[in-house]
Amino acid sequence: MLSCKKAIELMSEGMDHKLPFWRRLSLRLHVAMCHHCPRYARQIRSLDLAVRQHYSADPSRTTTEPLARTDLERIKALLREAASKSEPQKDS
Ligand SMILES: [Zn+2]
């Protein structure tokens, strides 16, 4: 089984480009069996979605432009929400 460190590397890599079949499969197996990685996977998906929404809301924005304060707050809220969903009874 992959280590969590390797799984996280593959998750990040998978956001930039599609992973080869066997890497995707081993990552999915790891996430299915790991206690920690599903939480991380949800957080980076939320973050990726928020960043995509930020740039699709106004196509004139460029990736070198800093995020607006409201978008930053929205991203933080999404991350907090993802973290609270993954461990509802701990980390208070
Ligand atoms: Zn893991």
pLDDT in tens, 78-92: 878 777 776 554 444
> In angstroms, what is the span from residue 54 Cα to ligand 1's centroid?
29
Q: Spell out the alpha helix ranges (H) of the chain.
A: 4-16, 21-33, 37-57, 69-86
pLDDT in tens, 55-64: 787 777 776 6
pLDDT in tens, 29-56: 999 999 999 999 998 888 888 888 877 8
3-state secondary structure of 46: helix
Cα–Cα distance measured from residue 26 to residue 22, given in angstroms and rounded to the nearest whole number: 6
For residue 86 the two structure tokens come to: 């993954």
CA 59 to chain centre: 22
> In angstroms, what is the span from residue 10 Cα to ligand 1's centroid?
11
> In angstroms, what is the span from residue 71 Cα to ligand 1's centroid?
29
Which of 39, 49, 64 minimizes the C-alpha distance to 15? 49
Q: What residue segments make up the domains of the chain, in order of their start?
A: 1-34, 39-87
